[in-house]
Amino acid sequence: MAEGYDDITYSTIYYLWRLVKNARGQMVTFKTTHITKRIGRSTPVMCSIVKYILNRLIERGCIKIWSVRRQSSRCGAIIRYVIYSDSPLWSLLKKADESEVKRLAREMMRHNFDVTKIKI
C-alpha cells in the first residue's frame, strides 16, 4: 500500500510501465481509478494525488486526455487518459526494465524534467 507522495508517484509510473510494456497495439487507455485500485486505496485524496501526477505528464506532452464522462462521487469527473505509441513516454517505458522504473519516476517528477532527455 502506498503511503507517501514518492510511493504514489512510483506506483503510478509503475502502473503506466506495465500497461505500455504489455501493450499489443499502438495506444493504451486508463482511468485514475484503475491506478488507485492498483495502489490499494481508492479514496478521494488518492485520486487527487494521482490526477496531479497525470496532469504533470499532460503538461509535458507525455499523455493526453481521451475522454471526460459524468461526475463520480469518489474521484470527480471520470477522465480516461491515453498514451500513444508516438509519445516520448511510450518509447521510454517500452525500453525500461523493472529495475529502472523507480529512477524513472524520480526523474519524471522533477519540476523541469524533459522526457526526451531522460536516458534508459
What's residue 60's pLDDT? 86
5-9, 62-66, 85-89: lowest mean pLDDT where? Answer: 5-9
How does pLDDT run across 69-82, given as a tens digit for each residue?
A: 877 665 567 899 99
Query: Which residues, listed in sequence order, are joined to residue 72 by a DSSP beta bridge?
Result: 76
Note the pLDDT of residue 118: 66
Report the alpha-carbon distance of residue 113 to residue 2 in Å, rounded: 23
In the chain, where the domains are located: 5-117
CA dihedral 48, 54, 30, 35 (to 10 degrees): -50
Residue 7 pLDDT: 87
47, 32 in Cβ contact below 8 A?
Answer: yes
Please provide the DSSP assignment of 21-66 as one string: HT--SSEEEEEHHHHHHHHT---HHHHHHHHHHHHHHHHTTS-EEE
pLDDT in tens, 91-107: 999 999 988 888 888 88
Chain segment 3-40, per-residue pLDDT in tens: 788 888 899 999 999 999 999 999 999 999 899 998 88
Mean pLDDT of the region 36-55: 88
- For residue 114, name the pLDDT band (cuts at 50, 70, 90): low
pLDDT given at position 74? 59
Q: Among candidates 25, 63, 53, which has minimal Cα distance to 109? A: 53
